[in-house]
Structure 1
Amino acid sequence: MKRDLITLAEARTSDHASFKKELQDAFAVAVVDAFGELPDGPIPSDEVLDAALDARDAVVLHILCDGRTVGGAVLRIDSETRRNSLDLFFLKVGEEGRGLGVKAWLAIEQRYPETISWQTHTPYFEKRNIHFYVNKCGFKIVEFFNSYHPDPNRVDEPDDFPGGGEAFQFEKVMKPSEPIL
């Protein structure tokens, strides 16, 4: 009998190459579905992924189902403000559509119970992600980045995704902010 028990395990630096490949394979599916083909090079690029994996406060996690790696997440945890970020989240190709993503997200929430809010983003064309974050995980769309309103945090980053850099910013408030005294 399949249990689909989801657990999280911190990735080692030696895991980063396979982690990036699995993430790029998963992201490629959405790009091909939306645009018919991949642009030159992997999406996101190795440079963008290296920056995310090596960022200060980054936590790189394997998502395990019954002990088998089925995906991963890159978080930035700010222990001072407790306003955390889900920078990257994926299920390996073939693992989607079974509810594992929601279980994985709930495991992340349980791992960081002191979080006041979570932020994440996704390209506008990724309807599956938008559905997941809004309808399954309880995030709210708080901003739409486009040519009239560019993302101020991504000025120096290359635009890895097709679609002109249009993306949604999401937020999930876990608990009300505490007043500043």
Structure 2
Amino acid sequence: MTKQHEQITLAPVPQKELKTFKQELQEAFLKGLQDSFPEAEDPTEMGPIPSDEDYEHSLTAKDSVVLQILLNGERKGGVVLKMNNETQRNEVDFLYIKANAHGKGLGTKAWKAIEAAFPETKVWELYTPYFEKRNIHFYVNKCGFKIVEFYHKGHQGPNVEGEEPVSDEEYEFFRFEKVMTKESSES
């Protein structure tokens, strides 16, 4: 099938597939960590990324939307969004493309599909670790996000309800925003 006939769609993740969805998400995030730190002995010793607790918290959060990213009907990734229908300031908790599908432009097409599915969004927000150069490139250069804040030991980010504050330098991360305008939603 030629690239022009590739169709990206979004669909809810069936309840019975949530376990597989989580495994794919964690595999994709682990690949990002391994790509960033190839000299690391065994990143799996840290446990799954995101942790099972973070994943469950995102899935069960109020206004959470869990979607699979389909290419011609086959799941190639997924996204967990937190939607605020009052403010239309919406958050991307997790966005992943399966590790074996990276580098094919699917992430950019998936992001455009997400924007198209939620045209009422005024601002998209997300967080990503400082070391994830691939993510930073993707969100800034491909999707039009801006880095608006850097969290570190001296400027800690917001605490997630039920979590202990994290202050290790290993957990430095950026907050990104994309303010939607008529032009950005049409591109």
Same fold per superposition (TM over 0.5): yes
The Cα of 1:175 is off from its aligned counterpart by 3.2
Supply the distance in 1 between the matched residues of 2:169 and 2:11 (Cα, whole angstroms): 33
The structure where helix makes up a greater share of residues is 2
The Cα of 1:11 is off from its aligned counterpart by 1.1
Bigger drift between 37-46 and 151-160 goes to: 151-160
* Percent identical: 50
Structure 2 gap segments, 5+ residues each: 183-187
Report the TM-score, using the length of structure 2 for normalisation.
Answer: 0.87
The Cα of 1:47 is off from its aligned counterpart by 1.1
Supply the distance in 1 between the matched residues of 2:175 and 2:139 (Cα, whole angstroms): 10
Count of aligned pairs between the two proteins: 175
- The answer to whether residue 136 in structure 2 is matched with residue 134 in structure 1 is no
Pairs within 5 Å for 1:140-151: 140-151=146-157
Conservation of the 8 A alpha-carbon contact between 1:115 and 1:175: no
Conservation of the 8 A alpha-carbon contact between 2:78 and 2:96: yes
Q: 2:120 aligns with which of 100, 103, 114?
A: 114
Which residue of the partner structure matches residue 76 of structure 2?
70
Matched AA of 2:131: F
Deviation string, structure 1 residues 75-108 (Cα, Å, up to 9, x no partner): 0111111110111000001111011000000000
Pairs within 5 Å for 1:40-79: 40-79=46-85
- The answer to whether residue 171 in structure 2 is matched with residue 165 in structure 1 is yes
Conservation of the 8 A alpha-carbon contact between 2:153 and 2:169: no
The Cα of 1:4 is off from its aligned counterpart by 2.0
Which residue of the partner structure matches residue 7 of structure 2?
5
Supply the distance in 2 between the matched residues of 1:48 and 1:111 (Cα, whole angstroms): 25
Matched AA of 1:108: I
The Cα of 1:156 is off from its aligned counterpart by 4.6
Higher relative contact order, chain-length normalized (CA < 8 Å, sep 6+): 1
Which residue of the partner structure matches residue 185 of structure 2?
none
The Cα of 1:158 is off from its aligned counterpart by 5.9
Which residue of the partner structure matches residue 30 of structure 2?
28
Cα RMSD for the two superposed structures: 1.9
Supply the distance in 2 between the matched residues of 1:135 and 1:174 (Cα, whole angstroms): 16
Which residue of the partner structure matches residue 179 of structure 1?
none
Conservation of the 8 A alpha-carbon contact between 2:90 and 2:121: yes
Q: Secondary structure at the match of 1:121?
A: strand
User: Taking structure 1 as reference, are residues 155 and 123 closer, same or farther at Cα in structure 2, changes over 3 Å only?
Assistant: farther
Structure 1 gap segments, 5+ residues each: 177-181
Matched AA of 1:88: F
Supply the distance in 2 between the matched residues of 1:118 and 1:57 (Cα, whole angstroms): 15
Matched AA of 1:105: W
